[in-house]
């Protein structure tokens, strides 16, 4: 045990094992294979025990002196916490990849030998403290790689490997020259002594020497544009070997950069510029890459660049204390998730990203793919997320906004192409045969997934986020996932409802506006979700995801910390994505949902980071103390929430997502999830009102809201698809809420909350009813359905109530909402918006009439029967809610008013009148009576008309079937604009990747040019 705890054993196992391999080969395969794994296992265990020893020793590094002398006479190696962490990560991963790569490794004993030497070389790079020794280990790694690549049998693989050899030989030559020149100047090769003698590192020779070493390490990490040779290898070698190069070999290089960074303090800006360019360019090109392994190559290159970027920038801004969290977190995430993805490529046996694979037939593989993709996209709770969050926060504190923009843009592109792959992979394709998964690939993949979860949870606990709020949703989801297979689908549903109710009781109480939202959304969410019980078989992930979704919403509403808010927000996004993806035709539409959701999330993250950086506080309350300089932060926050609220221009994700999601998921998305974005907007507006902003963008916000309402209503009017009509109607209603929030007055806010409650219940009913109608009629086209009033009378009744309430006609609560809104707008003097509101009300009435008349009246051309009870009951409950709040508005108004009052300054109260006065003006009773009479009159008129005309078909045709507006009146401007934008990005990506000509000579030229440019640029840098 203690003998194993000396890190020199790592080298001994590597070299000793390597030399023994040819001998064992002579004895027999059993000995050979046992010997190989004994050596690799011994090496790995040694590093683990050594790390434990270091930790137990209080973190003091183990120094290894060679030749019985102290440096600088001897070469010394060091095994401290950082070295140990990297070494253990690399060795554990190498062992897993040896298992995954076994089919190739076992063919040739030379491969086993090379693999051992290679792993040993990486450990040497990590541990050594001598420049020349570093060069030797670098060459050991390089030559080992050349050898392993040479055993690749494919023609393309050999081609790529030769390019790789040429480029890396140039790189290591640079390092050798640089190291010897450093010796020439300082008289030392020992890194610590060279760092001590840094003062003497002035003058042109030192300058060129340092740039040579730096260029070598950066080139080995494959910087854009000098990285074609690396990408060719990632593309052509067996996946597990590509994984080894991408994560293990690169780890040695990354650590070498870390080790030598004190020498490069003058060059930090250069490193940052190069790595930022690499991160951006590789992710940009990834958008246009269809070969999976090459795509993962681009992602690898980007991730390693991000690691070095973080290292350099955190050093530059003096935030070294977070380097372990950020750099090691990024590294660990890349190590586990990228290796996992490469291994899955081996398990799937696919090379073209566009191919539909029907991967859900292999749930384990599909689950692994989902997990790794989510992890690489740096979504919580995986290590990459915590690292990236901290990095962004630090960058914001240092006001490095350009870097934040680059990081988020690159990450968004990476999310896009990885989810694109995932979506294609799970797209059903019965013709495609999937290979039987091999155990030697699945076991490592499983281990990587477990390690990813364990490290993610560990980092979450260390991150200072609210543990309960983060882990409760995940825990309940995981629990349901585990017990799911034991229960019938309906029992799962009941278990989910019980679990969510129980778990929400464990959460801390939410207060004020958040408290209102939490009660409303919990009750609404549970009621709508219970409609799922109508289905005998739900997709297996439905209920666990639903639990995560509903509980994460509660977490968002309860936290006081920006970090927890964002984590729970991302849980909502990811859970929604997978829920939508279960819709029958939803897969092609989910990418847009994901990209826009992440776009919104990144805007929120960026905005929050700017404000947090400016106030120096990570609590949400800090939003209220920001000074005018943080204006951009508020604008970004508002923009992010507006994207989620599907404001005009960025609304294009909503109709397809709502239209294609499973019916009860749509009801939850529209009724409940959309309100979380509204809550965010409300909180932002509140914080902005509290802080001392001198720029007022409330009018702009109100205009955006009203434009969304009007155009949403117009587009709803033009729909023939039942769910899309309702989707556009949701957009339109959300616009009302945005306008109400923008009023920034007490009355406006009361209105906003009032419409929130109304819309939740109304849309819950309508989408559930739509689901029931689609279930019973088998179609969702309005012109194929008619005359359902006799067949589905109960559904008709609830839909009529919901439509009446949404239309804003008296007597139901929608009337109150609209009345309040128009009064508040008038009060503010925004007459244009009042006109907009009236127009939207008119358009709304029109499409709602179309809907009601189209579905329920006219000849019964469709066979159907009443909706299932389990879909009707939630709707009836929601109708009950509407009626209660309509008859007793104070039940809602009272708490709403109380919630807002303490948070708002007195000046914001509407004309100084108390709410009692407002209620006094608005006495619903006479209006109610009048409107009931009016409605009855209208009904009578309808019946009369249909009797007189003999048949009601023609009136129906005019009202329902005719397109209300010519096509030209509703041009798809937003679609066209986003399409042009995406096309522009694609053209840019295609132009950029033209440098990858495939010519090895050109790649060598690029490597040389990279060094020369680096050197040329370094001469412009100011010396420290």
Partner 1 sequence: MITFPVSTVMMVTGFGLILIGLAAILLHRNILRMIIGFSLMDSGIAIVLVSLGYVTGGTAPIMDADLAVAGAAQRVVDPIPSALTVTAIVIGLSVTAVMLAYAIRLYRSHGTLDIEAFRHSRA
Tell the smallest beta-carbon distance from residue 178 to partner 1 (Å): 11
Q: Which is nearer to partner 1, 273 or 1004 (CB)?
A: 1004
Taking a C-beta distance cutoff of 8 angstroms, is the pair 84, 54 a contact?
yes
CB of 11 to partner 1, least distance (A): 17
H or E element in which residue 885 lies: helix 869-887
Selected binder of partner 1 within 17, 18, 121, 147 (CB under 8 A): 147
Tell the residue number behind the tokens 């977070």, with chain if given: 322
CB of 289 to partner 1, least distance (A): 8
In degrees to the nearest 10, what's the CA dihedral of 821, 826, 831, 836?
Answer: 20
Stretch that binds partner 1, among 32-40, 146-154, 825-833, 853-861 (CB under 8 A): 146-154
For 787, left (φ over 0), alpha (ψ -120 to 50), or beta?
Answer: left
With CB under 8 A as the contact rule, the residue among 1008, 1013, 1015, 1017 that binds partner 1 is 1008
Identify the CA nearest to 415 among candidates 287, 547, 263. Answer: 287
- What residues between 123 and 142 interact with partner 1 by CB under 8 A? 132, 136, 139, 142
For residue 489, the minimal CB distance to partner 1 (Å) is 47
Task: Read off the tokens for 272.
Answer: 């940052």
Considering the rule CB under 8 A, would residue 1015 count as an interface residue with partner 1? no
- Rule CB under 8 A: say whether 197 interacts with partner 1: no
From 96, 181, 387, 526, residue interacting with partner 1 (rule: CB under 8 A): 181
Q: Binding to partner 1 by residue 978, rule CB under 8 A?
A: no
Distance separating alpha carbons of residues 642 and 799, to the nearest angstrom: 28
What tokens were used for 370? 């989902």
User: What residues numbered 226-245 form the site for partner 1, per CB under 8 A?
Assistant: 228, 231-232, 235-236
Residue 162 Cβ vs partner 1, minimum distance, rounded to whole Å: 5
Q: Cβ of residue 1021: shortest distance to partner 1, in angstroms?
A: 25
Residues 6+ positions from 271 with CB-CB distance below 8 Å: 214, 218, 257, 264, 308, 309, 312
Residue 325 contacts residue 392 (beta carbons within 8 Å): no
In eight-state DSSP terms, residue 437 is P
Looking at the Cβ atoms of 75 and 319, the one nearer to partner 1 is 75
415 makes contact with partner 1 (CB under 8 A): no
**How many other CB atoms are there within 10 angstroms of residue 203's CB atom?**
10
In degrees to the nearest 10, what's the CA dihedral of 440, 446, 450, 453? Answer: 130
Please state the closest distance from residue 424 (CB atom) to partner 1, in A: 20
Cis peptide before 512 (omega within 30 of 0): no
What's the closest the beta carbon of residue 150 comes to partner 1, in angstroms?
6
Whether the CA torsion 581, 584, 588, 589 is positive or negative: it is negative
Q: How far, in Å, CA of 149 to CA of 241, rounded?
A: 8
Answer for which of 143, 652, 688, 714 binds partner 1 (CB under 8 A) is 143
Find the shortest distance in angstroms from Cβ 301 to partner 1: 14
Residue closer to partner 1 by CB (options 462, 1012) is 1012
The residues near 843 (Cβ < 8 Å, ≥ 6 apart) are 710, 713, 714, 716, 717
Q: Is there binding between residue 159 and partner 1 (CB under 8 A)?
A: yes
Binding span for partner 1 by CB under 8 A among 162-170, 269-277, 433-441, 737-745: 162-170
Burial 726-764 (b: 16+ CB within 10 A, else e): bbbbbbbbbbbbbbbbbbbbbbbbbbbbbbbbbbbbbbb
Q: In this chain, which of 37, 162, 471, 904 binds partner 1, going by CB under 8 A?
A: 162
CB-wise, 264 or 1011, nearer to partner 1? 1011
Stretch that binds partner 1, among 514-522, 687-695, 911-919, 988-996 (CB under 8 A): 988-996
Q: Is there binding between residue 719 and partner 1 (CB under 8 A)?
A: no
Q: What share of the chain is helix, strand, coil (3-state, %, to 5)?
A: 80, 0, 20
Instruction: Identify the CA nearest to 775 among candidates 867, 904, 894.
Output: 867
Q: Give CA–CA dist 689/695, Å, rounded.
A: 11
Pick the binder of partner 1 from 3, 67, 155, 863 (CB under 8 A).
155
Does residue 381 have a cis peptide bond before it, meaning omega lies within 30 degrees of 0? yes
Q: Are 304 and 327 in contact (CB under 8 A)?
A: no
Distance between CA 406 and CA 412 in Å, rounded?
A: 10
Q: Which is nearer to partner 1, 173 or 1019 (CB)?
A: 173
Told to check if 294 binds partner 1 by CB under 8 A, we report: yes
Residues 453-512 that bind partner 1 (CB under 8 A): none
State the minimum distance, in angstroms, from the CB of residue 242 to partner 1: 12
Q: How far apart are CA 330 and CA 456, in angstroms?
A: 11
Q: Between residues 351 and 397, which has the closer beta carbon with respect to partner 1?
A: 351
Alpha-carbon distance 112 to 103, whole Å? Answer: 11
Q: Is 994 in the site for partner 1 (CB under 8 A)?
A: yes
Number of residues in contact with partner 1, rule: CB under 8 A? 44
Q: Work out whether 434 is an interface residue with partner 1 (CB under 8 A).
A: no
Q: Does 73 bind partner 1 (CB under 8 A)?
A: no
Q: Supply the DSSP symbol for 964.
A: S
In angstroms, give the least distance from the CB of 147 to partner 1: 7
Residues 6+ apart with CB under 8 A from 639: 603, 607
Closest to partner 1 by CB, 231 or 345 = 231
User: Can residue 163 be called a binding residue for partner 1 (CB under 8 A)?
Assistant: yes
Closer Cβ to partner 1, 169 or 883, answer by number: 169
The two counts, helices (H) then strands (E), for the chain are: 44, 2
- Is 155 or 865 the residue whose CB approaches partner 1 more closely? 155
The residue count for the chain: 1024
Where in 560-589 is the site for partner 1 (CB under 8 A)?
Answer: none
Tell the burial category of 686 from Cβ atoms under 10 Å away from its Cβ (0-12, 13-18, 19+).
buried
DSSP H stretches of helix in 530-630: 542-558, 562-581, 587-615
Residue 975 region, left (φ>0) first, then alpha (ψ -120 to 50), else beta? Answer: alpha
Nearer residue to partner 1 within complex by CB, 236 or 897? 236
156 binds partner 1 (CB under 8 A): yes
Residue closer to partner 1 by CB (options 180, 928) is 180
Q: Out of 31, 37, 146, 919, which residue is the one contacting partner 1 (CB under 8 A)?
A: 146
Helix (H, G, I), strand (E, B) or coil at 78: strand
> Does the footprint of partner 1 cover residue 184 (CB under 8 A)?
yes
Among 5, 165, 727, 852, binds partner 1 (CB under 8 A): 165
Q: How far is the CB of 1020 from partner 1 (least distance, A)?
A: 24
DSSP code of residue 325: I
8 A C-beta contact, residue 415 and residue 594: yes
Question: What's the angle, vertex CA 287, arms to CA 283 and CA 291, rounded to 5?
Answer: 105
Q: Is 888 in the site for partner 1 (CB under 8 A)?
A: no
70 binds partner 1 (CB under 8 A): no
Does residue 220 belong to the site contacting partner 1 (CB under 8 A)?
A: no
Q: Residue 63 is inside which H or E element, if any? A: strand 62-65
Contacts (CB under 8 A) with partner 1, residues 934-973 = none
Instruction: For residue 173, state whether it binds partner 1 (rule: CB under 8 A).
Output: yes
Which of 156, 629 has the CB closer to partner 1?
156
Q: Of 166-174, 240-248, 637-645, 932-940, which segment contacts partner 1 by CB under 8 A?
A: 166-174
Residue from 24, 62, 97, 176 binding partner 1 (CB under 8 A): 176
Residues that bind partner 1 (CB under 8 A): 132, 136, 139, 142-143, 146-147, 150, 155-156, 158-163, 165-166, 169, 173, 176-177, 180-181, 183-184, 189, 228, 231-232, 235-236, 294, 993-994, 996-1001, 1004-1005, 1008
């Amino acid at each position: 045990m203690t003998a194993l705890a000396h890190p020199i054993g790592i080298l001994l196992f590597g070299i000793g094992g390597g030399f023994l391999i040819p001998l064992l080969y002579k004895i027999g395969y059993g000995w050979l294979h046992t010997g190989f794994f004994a050596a690799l296992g011994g090496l790995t265990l040694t590093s683990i025990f050594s790390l434990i020893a270091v930790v137990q020793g209080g973190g003091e590094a183990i120094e290894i002196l060679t030749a019985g002398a102290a440096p600088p006479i001897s070469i010394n190696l060091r095994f401290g916490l950082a070295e140990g962490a990297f070494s253990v990560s690399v060795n554990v991963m190498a062992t897993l990849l040896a298992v995954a790569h076994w089919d190739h490794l076992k063919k040739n004993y030379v491969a086993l030998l090379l693999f051992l030497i290679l792993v040993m070389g990486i450990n040497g790079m990590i541990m050594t403290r001598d420049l020349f020794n570093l060069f030797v280990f670098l060459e050991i790694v390089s030559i080992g790689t050349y050898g392993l690549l040479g055993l690749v049998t494919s023609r393309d693989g050999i081609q790529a490997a030769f390019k790789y050899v040429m480029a890396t030989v140039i790189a290591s030559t640079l390092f050798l020259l640089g190291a010897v020149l450093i010796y020439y100047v300082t008289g030392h090769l020992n890194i610590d002594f060279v760092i001590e003698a840094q003062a003497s590192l002035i003058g042109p020779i030192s300058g060129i020497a340092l740039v040579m070493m730096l260029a070598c390490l950066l080139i080995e990490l494959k910087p854009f544009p000098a990285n074609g040779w690396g990408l060719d290898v990632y593309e052509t070698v067996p996946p597990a070997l590509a994984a080894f190069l991408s994560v293990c070999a690169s780890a040695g290089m990354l650590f070498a950069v870390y080790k030598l960074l004190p020498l490069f303090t003058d060059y930090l800006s250069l490193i940052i510029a190069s790595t930022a360019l690499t991160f951006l360019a590789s992710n940009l090109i990834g958008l246009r890459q269809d070969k999976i392994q090459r795509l993962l190559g681009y992602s690898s290159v980007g991730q390693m660049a991000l690691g070095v970027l973080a290292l350099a920038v955190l050093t530059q801004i003096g935030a070294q204390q977070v380097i372990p969290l950020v750099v090691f977190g990024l590294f660990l995430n890349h190590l586990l998730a990228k290796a996992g993805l490469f291994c899955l490529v081996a398990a799937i046996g696919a090379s073209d990203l566009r191919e539909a694979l029907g991967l859900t037939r292999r749930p384990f593989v599909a689950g692994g793919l989902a997990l790794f993709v989510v992890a690489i996209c740096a979504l919580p709770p995986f290590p990459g997320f915590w690292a990236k969050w901290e990095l962004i926060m630090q960058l914001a504190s240092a006001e490095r906004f350009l870097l934040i923009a680059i990081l988020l843009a690159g990450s968004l592109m990476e999310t896009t192409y990885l989810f694109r792959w995932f979506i294609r992979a799970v797209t059903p394709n019965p013709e495609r045969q999937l290979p039987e998964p091999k155990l030697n690939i699945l076991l490592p993949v499983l281990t990587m997934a477990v390690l990813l979860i364990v490290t993610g949870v560990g980092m979450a606990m260390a991150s200072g986020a609210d543990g309960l709020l983060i882990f409760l949703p995940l825990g309940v989801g995981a629990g349901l996932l585990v017990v799911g297979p034991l229960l019938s689908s309906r029992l799962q549903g009941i278990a989910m409802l019980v679990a969510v109710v129980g778990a929400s009781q464990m959460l801390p109480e939410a207060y004020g506006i958040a408290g209102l939202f939490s009660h409303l959304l919990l009750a609404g969410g549970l009621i709508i979700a219970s409609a799922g019980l109508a289905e005998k078989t739900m997709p297996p992930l439905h209920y666990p995801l639903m639990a995560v979704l509903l509980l994460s919403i509660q977490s968002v509403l309860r936290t006081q910390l920006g970090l927890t808010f964002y984590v729970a927000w991302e849980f909502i996004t990811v859970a929604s994505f997978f829920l939508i993806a279960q819709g029958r035709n939803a897969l092609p539409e989910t990418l847009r949902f994901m990209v826009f959701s992440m776009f919104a999330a990144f805007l929120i993250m960026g905005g929050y980071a700017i404000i947090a950086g400016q106030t120096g506080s990570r609590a949400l309350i800090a939003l209220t103390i920001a000074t005018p300089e943080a204006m951009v932060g508020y604008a970004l926050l508002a923009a992010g929430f507006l994207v989620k609220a599907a404001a005009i221009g960025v609304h294009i994700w909503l109709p397809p997502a709502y239209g294609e999601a499973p019916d009860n998921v749509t009801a939850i998305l529209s009724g409940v999830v959309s309100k979380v974005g509204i809550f965010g907007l409300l909180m932002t507006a509140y914080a902005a009102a509290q802080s001392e902003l001198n720029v007022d963008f409330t009018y702009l916000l109100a205009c955006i809201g009203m434009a969304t309402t009007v155009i949403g209503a117009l587009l709803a009017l033009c729909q023939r698809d039942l769910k899309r009509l309702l989707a556009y109607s949701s957009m339109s209603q959300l616009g009302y809420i945005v306008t109400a929030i923008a009023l920034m007055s007490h009355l406006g806010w009361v209105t906003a909350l009032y419409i929130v409650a109304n819309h939740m219940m109304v849309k819950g009913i309508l989408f559930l009813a739509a689901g029931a109608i689609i279930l019973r009629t088998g179609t969702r086209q309005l012109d194929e359905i008619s005359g359902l009033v006799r067949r589905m009378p109960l559904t008709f009744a609830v839909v009529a109530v919901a439509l009446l309430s949404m239309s804003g006609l008296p007597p139901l609560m929608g009337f109150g909402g609209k009345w309040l809104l128009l009064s508040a707008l008038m009060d503010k003097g925004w007459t244009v918006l009042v006109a907009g509101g009236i127009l939207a009300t008119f358009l709304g009435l029109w499409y709602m009439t179309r809907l009601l008349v189209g579905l329920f009246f006219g000849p019964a051309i469709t066979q159907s029967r009443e909706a299932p009870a389990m879909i009707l009951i939630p709707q009836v409950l929601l109708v009950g809610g509407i009626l209660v709040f309509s008859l007793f508005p104070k039940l809602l108004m009272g708490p709403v008013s109380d919630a807002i009052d303490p948070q708002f300054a007195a000046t914001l109260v509407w004309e100084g009148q108390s709410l009692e006065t407002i209620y006094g003006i608005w006495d619903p009773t006479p209006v109610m009576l009048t409107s009931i009479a009016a409605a009855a009159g209208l009904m009578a008129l309808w019946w009369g008309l249909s009797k007189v005309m003999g048949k009601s078909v023609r009136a129906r045709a005019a009202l329902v079937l005719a397109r209300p507006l010519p096509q030209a009146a509703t041009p798809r401007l937003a679609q066209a604009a986003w399409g042009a934008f995406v096309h522009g990005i694609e053209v840019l990506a295609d132009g950029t990747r033209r440098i990858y000509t495939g010519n090895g000579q050109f790649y060598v030229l690029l490597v040389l040019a990279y060094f020369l440019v680096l050197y040329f640029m370094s001469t412009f840098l100011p010396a420290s």
